[in-house]
Structure 1
Amino acid sequence: MASSGPAEWYNTLPTITRFFGTACVATTIAMEFNVVDPFYLVLDWRMVFQKFQIWRLVTCFFIIGGFSWNFLMRVILIHNYGVGLEKGVFQFKTPEFLYMLLFGALTLLSISLALPGFNLIVLNGPFVFMLLYVWSKHYPTQNVSIMGLFQVQGFYLPWAFLMINMVLGGSPWQDLFGIFTGHLHYFLTELNPNTRQAMEPPEFVHKFIAWTNAGHVSQSYVQRQGPAGVFRGRGQRLGGN
């Protein structure tokens, strides 16, 4: 590990989390050096509906802010818990991981539209908190060190970060929206057997993962394609085949 350079470390990151983290860092650099005006990236529903600036529905998830302590902590959270999920619980279920992110993004966009009073124009914070919450539900007993100051079990991790944010003077609402979104997904996919099948990734998600070779397509989907399927890459090697 000591001989590995930054490029080698970067290439070992799982594809989807690597893309998201890179987009967040690149957006921060572009904003910091005035390459792009944040006004054109934040979620402005009036501009979306009236000017058809639909890119705002995506770029609002990449905005962290300028280089700061908050930026550093957000990048660490993306690395620790985004990578932790993609290489852990979702290691052989890349479509499920991507679909979870899409579900979370659509849920947060809906909350922003339905509750304009909360002024949710930047959704990176609640989106990352959603990842943190889902991770905590899958690893509830794992001990985690927070900034090297104290340890908590995974189950309490989102609430610990929520309290830290409040102590530092931040509003709890964005974190709570992220927790709500993460719990909604966990409830629909893990706790409620009546909704598990409905939460399975649709065909286009599987096709996208197979087309981009971004990860493992589920074995059941590969089998549905039959021997004449056009999909290749890691998806067909699932399960050691």
Structure 2
Amino acid sequence: MAYQIFFREYFQTPPLTRAYTTACFLTSLAVHLDILSPYRLYFHPTLIMENLQLWRLITPFFYFGDFSLNYLFSMLFTYRCCRMLEEESFRGRPADFLYLIILGCVIALFFAWFLLLPFLGQSLTTMFVYIWARRNPYVQMGFFGLFVFRAPYLPWVMVALSVLFDGDLETELIGILIGHAYFYFEDVFPYVPGGWRLLATPRIFKLLFDGELENSDYHPPAEERPAGFNLGAQEEQANQQQRNEEN
């Protein structure tokens, strides 16, 4: 049965991805059914500071608009890339993934404060997409069978779709900026001479969400680093795979 497949897939989804995408869907559903008004959800510095409407620091990341084609694309990218990050790069490290989400939200709110952006969910989605894409540089992707490109170009394809569907271009670009900053300081800077892990997850996060403090600093093996320091081996592996496919 279709609903059995859906529920099986739903409960197999990693917990943070499941919690976030469920909150996004329920928020849009509540607005669609007139249970909530989007005017109670958007980011507004004055209402936060003067009226203490602190929920506006969180709700802008949950609302992607009413149900539409643009909403469908946004949720698809959010679910797929958020899940792949949690299952691959952050497998067994929920504290690190939660810390990434919190960092992304805080930086997006900083930009929204000055640019007066009402909703920020798309910036978080683009951040997920950008980090996943940079950590999987040789993955081949297709766009409705029209053209094929490698994963690092995916965020820019999203920007093009945003322009095509009259989306919020500013939030997309903010997401790319946040994703690039995280990628650099987490995957590049620690491995250059004199570098260190600037974005190390606080130990309290490790204690609360990982249940341990041992080996709290994450150091990926050299072959898994997408920063460019071991790309020669990866390139050779990709070329060998391509030669095998041609033969």
1:83-139 per-residue CA deviation (whole Å, 9 max, x = no partner) reads: 0100011112221111111111111011111x23xx311000111001010011101
- Quick one: distance in 2 between partners of 1:220 and 1:111? 34
Residue deviations 1:43-88, cap 9 Å, x none? 1111100011111111110001111001111111112100010001
Q: What is residue 82 of structure 1 aligned with on the other side? A: 82
Which letter does structure 2 place at the counterpart of 1:100? Answer: L
Q: Would you say 1:183 and 2:180 are equivalent positions?
A: yes
Task: Please tell me whether residue 19 in structure 1 is matched to residue 19 in structure 2.
Answer: yes
Distance in 1, matches of 2:183 and 2:173, equals 15
Instruction: Report if the CA contact (8 A) 2:189-2:197 is conserved.
Output: no
Give 1:204's aligned amino acid. Answer: I
1:8-157 matches, cutoff 5 A: 8-113=8-113, 115-116=114-115, 119-157=116-154
Judged with a 3 Å threshold, the aligned counterparts in structure 2 of structure 1 residues 219 and 31 are, in CA distance, closer, same or farther, namely same
Following superposition, the deviation at residue 180 of structure 1 comes to: 0.1
Greater relative contact order (Cα < 8 A, sep 6+): 1
TM-score normalised over the length of structure 1 = 0.82
Partner of 2:7: 7
Letter in 1 for 2:215: S
Amino acid across the alignment from 1:109: L
Q: Give the partner amino acid of 1:189.
A: E
Identity of aligned residues (%): 25
Farther off after superposition, 102-111 or 169-178 = 169-178
Which residue of the partner structure matches residue 215 of structure 2? 220
Q: Is contact 2:94–2:210 with CA below 8 Å preserved after alignment?
A: no
Structure 2 SS opposite 1:192? helix
In 2, Cα distance between the equivalents of 1:32 and 1:2? 24
AA aligned to 1:31 is V
1:192 aligned to which of 189, 194, 197: 189
Kindly tell me: are residues 85 and 111 of structure 1, through their superposed partners in 2, closer, same or farther at Cα, counting changes over 3 Å? same
Distance across 2 between alignment mates of 1:171 and 1:55? 22
Q: In structure 2, do the counterparts of structure 1 residues 53 and 132 end up closer, same or farther at CA, with 3 Å as the change threshold? A: same
| TM-score normalised by the chain length of structure 2 | 0.80
**Is the 8 Å Cα contact of residues 93 and 210 (structure 2) preserved in structure 1?**
no
Aligned residue for 2:174, secondary structure, equals helix
Question: How many residues of Structure 1 are paired with residues of Structure 2 in the alignment?
Answer: 214
Name the CA distance, whole Å, in 2 between partners of 1:52 and 1:195: 40
Residue 150 of structure 1: how far off its partner (Å): 2.8
Unaligned runs of 5+ in 2: 218-247
1:30 and 1:195 map into 2 onto residues whose CA distance is 47
Q: Which runs of 4+ in 1 moved over 6 A?
A: none
Query: What's the CA shift for 1:197?
Result: 2.9
Q: Secondary structure, in 3 states, of the residue corresponding to 1:161?
A: helix
Query: 5+ unaligned residues in a row in structure 1: which ranges?
Result: 212-216, 223-241
SS of alignment partner, residue 197 of structure 1? coil
User: How far is 1:177 from its partner?
Assistant: 0.7
How big is the alpha-carbon RMSD for the aligned residues of Structure 1 and Structure 2? 2.3
Change (3 A) 1:174 1:221: closer
CA contact (8 A) 1:17 1:82 kept: yes
Matches of residues 224-235 of structure 1 in structure 2 within 5 Å? none
